[in-house]
Amino acid sequence: MSAVILVTGGTGLVGKAIEHVIESEPQDSPFAKRPGEKWIFASSRDADLRDPKRTLELFEKYQPTHVIHLAALVGGLFANRERKATFLRDNMLINDNVLNTARIQKTRKVISCLSTCVFPDKIDYPLTEEKVHLGPPHDSNFGYAYAKRMVDVQNHAYKEEFGCNFTSAIPTNVFGPHDNFDLKHAHVIPALIHKCYLAKKNGTPFKVMGDGSPLRQFIYSRDLAKLFIWQLREYDDVEPVILSVSEDDEISIRDVANTIVKVMKYDAGAQFENEPNDNGQDRKPASNAKLMKLIREFKFTPFDAALQETVTWFLDNYDNART
């Protein structure tokens, strides 16, 4: 089958992971690039997707048959807390332009991204796909959360009115090579890797925000990449699917920090700032039961091994990484 797969946000953490998998999987792997497929990994320099004209030019240039839509304004707890209107507006503009342009261009399929942080903050656990809209999200990132929730609403509306094959993924927290390691605005794992690196290098304390009690699930970017490739090829339902490790794999921020100390061979320990307001959401345990029923034999990379690969990439690429 000839196909042109456009990956918007193709130069980010998840986009780079998809590129790595497509280029390195052995031919007999279900995640390998198939004959006749052309993969395009677009960045904001190819088109600022907040602009409908640039979005249309990008689609006209490549004529994608399929889109994995990753492009977004993305950040951790502290980036989201400071810029709720910007996270709301930029992501709504990007999502509206990509979906409407895909409709106009008759793109065969679009997979867009929500995130487990968009679920209602106070709701019975575990989080499952049908609970996305059943209450307000955590206050810390309501701008991003509502922009992302609208993708699910848009997918249903475009399907009903125009018959579009639009669906979405709900990844949990992601980490891996090519992440954003910015000390203030990154997600917790890349931020702590960078902080621990500087503490070891400068003999300064390794400071962790909050008290370490919150729990998270983390998926390695290269595992998530395989799940996106699976969803592109095998999943055609408008309803979202959570792409995550099991809820049994929840890990505390304290254990994350201590694992980073171990992997980076840092002699001193982590120091917790203990400001409760900096904990963000207590937990967001998402069930991957729907996914595992659909792709039974999938094996996730063990957390320590994934963290080691990420740290190795960071140390080897420090000068070019987003820091």
Q: Are strands 66-69 and 3-8 parallel, antiparallel or unpaired?
A: parallel
> Based on CB atoms, which residue is closest to ligand NAP, 249 or 266?
249
Residue 13 contact among ligand GFB, ligand NAP, none, beta carbon within 5 to 8 Å by kind: ligand NAP
Q: CB nearest ligand NAP: which residue?
A: 12
Active site residues: 144
Contact between residue 248 and residue 49 where contact means Cβ atoms under 8 Å apart: no
Residue 11 contact among ligand GFB, ligand NAP, none, beta carbon within 5 to 8 Å by kind: ligand NAP
Residue the block writes with tokens 């999938």 = 298
Q: Applying CB under 6 A, does 127 fall inside the site for ligand NAP?
A: no
Residue 105 contact among ligand GFB, ligand NAP, none, beta carbon within 5 to 8 Å by kind: none
> Based on CB atoms, which residue is closest to ligand GFB, 50 or 138?
138
DSSP letter string, 99-155: HHHHHHTT-SEEEEE--GGGSBSSSPSSB-GGGTTSS-B-GGGHHHHHHHHHHHHHH
Residue 321 contact among ligand NAP, ligand GFB, none, beta carbon within 5 to 8 Å by kind: none
DSSP at 81: H
Q: Applying CB under 6 A, does 43 fall inside the site for ligand NAP?
A: yes
DSSP letter string, 277-300: GGG--S---B--HHHHHHSTT--P
Q: Applying CB under 6 A, does 187 fall inside the site for ligand NAP?
A: yes
Beta-sheet strands, E only, within 53-181: 66-69, 109-113, 166-171, 173-175
Give the nearest distance from C-beta 32 to ligand GFB in angstroms.
28
The contact set with ligand GFB (CB under 6 A) reads: 76-78, 80, 115, 117, 140-141, 144, 173, 186-188, 191-192, 195, 208-210, 214, 216, 253, 278-281
Pick from 73, 98, 99, 257 the residue near ligand NAP by CB under 6 A.
Answer: 73
What are the CA-CA distances from residue 215 to residues 162, 251, 255, 269 (Å)?
A: 41, 5, 9, 20
247: tokens are 């809820």
Q: Which residues bind ligand NAP (CB under 6 A)?
A: 9-15, 43-45, 48-50, 70-74, 94, 113, 115, 171, 173-174, 180, 187
